[in-house]
Amino acid sequence: MPPKEQKIYICTACGHESRKWLGRCPKCGEWDSLNEQKKLKIRTGRSTTEVFPLTGDGGEEPVRLVTGISELDRTLGGGIVPGSMVLIGGDPGIGKSTLILQLLAALAGQQHKVLYASGEESVGQIRMRAERLNVRSDHILLAAENSVQAIIGLAAEVRPAFLAVDSIQTMFSEEVSSAPGSVTQVRESASLFVNLAKRTDLPIILIGHVTKDGSIAGPRVLEHMVDTVLYFEGDSGQVFRVLRTVKNRFGSTNEIGVFEMKESGLAEVDNPSALFLAERPVNVPGSVVMPSIEGTRPILVEVQALVSPSSPGSARRTAIGADPQRLALLTAVLEKKIGVTLFDHDIFLNIAGGIRIDEPALDLGVIVALLSSLYEKVVDPTTVVCGEVGLAGEIRAVGQMEQRLREAQRLGFKTFLMPESSSRQLEAGAAKGIQIQPVRSVHEVVERLFVG
């Protein structure tokens, strides 16, 4: 017997399902957002799907499609896996379409036929951008189309080695009655592309819009459906962009690729540490260098702090590139354990260059930068600091310290302030050419850097 149809009502804002129409969505609070949809009631029966044992043939690493753009390949885990779905999100104008066009040009340069389906731009507009980027290839096929079924038909006809869709929010499935960009349309369109990728081993990359809070627009399930999620980060006032991996079924997460925006497009940055420290001020209080780990890559960043007196009761705490809650916690640790007075001071924290650091190893850099600004004492410019700070004021160990140490040595730093427990775990000879200063508490940090 055919499956029965059941009417449901789905919120276009958050995807909440209800069996009856409501004027206001009970989940997100939007008014008049529930639209009627038909839901199939599936009847179970005898399955014709084959099952396989865990052990056996077919478990080899798939042959990846290497793009030749090393920073992009790094975030993808070494290249594009056949049949994979990649989702790239980022603010408008950040460079998503530019990166995709350069990716297609790199693949076309390897004699791969690629298809670029755009629901936002005409073929003429894409050609104008390609001309500006000096991209010319007959292997790049363009289609101004936003029907998923039509794009799938084109893919079956031209048989490309790679498909790019710009953007998933402009696509619509002819089987769904709601408008493009709605929760239902985004989910169904993505589902059809996933089915195409897995059925034909065609790698597909989707561009996604982001909301005001920085998350990809559409249902949250969209990020669960794809294999890899990349976020393009950066400030329009900065010349470089950071491509960050937040999900990857075929590689490490939290990997980053760094690009510099130029008139000719996005250029790879082979030495991000040197870029982030290029404009670092010398002999200025409130500045210190901290070695961070982004995925598998060590990067040196400058931590800046400004501590200035404010009117009583109106002190501000602002963090750019770091967690504001963590800044408040570290400020409380300094007041409690060191005895400094900060409640009547404005505190501004910035990770120079626009990059965001979320790891606990940043704590010691924040502490040192705050104290340097408060005491108006300069930290030796050849010193780097790294470590987690606990609520008792203790300096706790962080991972991958030897990678951080090698990066600091490579850029010519002479002193490394690190947790004592981490210094004991270093291999013999690892600290050649650099002085290790182990510390156990914030009291020792003050004594080593600011007393005397």
pTM surpassing 0.85? no
For the chain, residues with pLDDT lower than 70 are: 1-6, 13, 38-48, 56-60, 212-214, 217-219, 236-237, 452
Pull the structure tokens for residue 179: 């408008």
Ordered alpha helix ranges (H), 83-219: 96-108, 123-132, 148-158, 183-200
393 is in an annotated binding site: no
pLDDT digits (tens, 9 = 90+) for 166-188: 989 999 998 888 788 888 889 89
29 is in an annotated binding site: no
Together in a domain, 321 and 433: yes
Together in a domain, 252 and 288: no
Together in a domain, 177 and 33: no
96 is in an annotated binding site: yes
What integer pLDDT is reported at residue 255 of this predicted model? 87
Domain contains 62? no
Q: For residue 298, what are the contacts with CB-CB under 8 A and spacing of at least 6? A: 273, 291, 292, 400, 403, 404, 406, 407
Together in a domain, 326 and 239: no
Range of 16's domain? 4-41
d(CA 215, CA 213): 6
d(CA 387, CA 444): 13
d(CA 193, CA 191): 5
Q: What phi, psi does 376 have (nearest 5°)?
A: 55, 40
Q: Output the domain CATH number for residue 310.
A: 3.30.230.10
Q: Output the domain CATH number for residue 105.
A: 3.40.50.300
What integer pLDDT is reported at residue 1 of this predicted model? 47
What integer pLDDT is reported at residue 171 of this predicted model? 94
Together in a domain, 265 and 279: no
The β-bridge partners of 275 are none
Together in a domain, 265 and 387: no
Q: For residue 30, what are the contacts with CB-CB under 8 A and spacing of at least 6? A: 11, 12, 13, 14, 24
Choosing from 248, 269, 290, the residue where a domain stops is 269
Together in a domain, 231 and 113: yes
What integer pLDDT is reported at residue 27 of this predicted model? 84
What integer pLDDT is reported at residue 5 of this predicted model? 57
94 is in an annotated binding site: yes
Tally Cβ neighbours within 10 Å of residue 77.
Answer: 20
